[in-house]
Amino acid sequence: MQQLVIGIVLLAAGILLSLIYNRMRQGEGGTAAEMMDIREVSAHLKEGQSGIFTVRAPLQAEQPETSAFDETKKAYFETRVLALEGKHQREIYSGKSEAKPFMQDAPGEEKLWIDIPSFGDNAELFPSHMDTAQPGTPLFGAVERLAHYQPGNEFQGYRVLEGCIRPGQQVLFTGTVRRRDGKLLAEAGVRTKSSFTYREPEESQCRQPLSTSAKIILALGAVTVVAGAVLLINSLL
């Protein structure tokens, strides 16, 4: 009888440790690490709800735009121009797409509107321009017309930096998604590590390593369940 009681207690303790482990994994980003498409995210969120998700889908724009230095249509872009003065660089111009882009699994399906600037330095765009504009070149003239910069004595030229996402290009992000006024809205999370990239997902992005405490909880849970099951079987024989 005593073995039966102890076995039941150990099984209950093992189940409790399993629940604690699952909660810890959620806190470490286990839920966000599961890559989803927009249909799956939509099914998780009712009006007013939000959550942390990892989403991969093509990026689109209602009206793709061109940048100041490139006539190619883009779903989203960011441009910076630096003046090269001796050993120093000074930003003299910055610009980005005016329209807010969205992600969509396929044409006609639900849109997920994404605030790319909210990801800050964790937003990785495809580098479409990393050029140095020297006096007398067409690019130099384009910068002059745009920035109206008055160079100093050590002026060496301009550096044009531009990152973009083409319409239909696959992107991947981890961040906060909420449903508000019937729309899905995405932005960088406040209390979680967020990222946005054009790169292909890697195995390391999809599987988060276990912390030491989570490993201990998992091991204790497994040992407790096994011990409880053994005692229960012995008590019934």
Give the C-alpha separation, 34 to 167, whole Å: 25
Domain locations in the chain as residue ranges: 1-28+210-237, 29-209
Of 208, 197, 203, which is closest to residue 175 (Cα–Cα)? 197
Contacts of residue 224, Cβ cutoff 8 Å, sequence gap at least 6 = 10, 11, 13, 14, 17
Whether residue 20 contacts residue 217, with contact meaning beta carbons closer than 8 Å, is answered with: yes
Neighbouring CB atoms inside 10 A of 211's CB total 13
From first to last of the 237 residues of the chain, give the pLDDT tens digit.
565 555 455 456 556 656 555 554 444 444 445 899 999 999 999 999 999 999 999 999 999 999 888 889 999 999 999 999 888 899 999 999 998 899 999 999 999 999 999 999 999 999 998 898 888 888 998 898 888 888 888 888 999 999 999 999 999 999 999 999 999 999 998 777 899 999 987 743 444 444 565 556 556 655 554 555 555 556 656
The pTM of this model reads 0.69
Give the C-alpha separation, 43 to 153, whole Å: 60
Give the C-alpha separation, 63 to 153, whole Å: 42
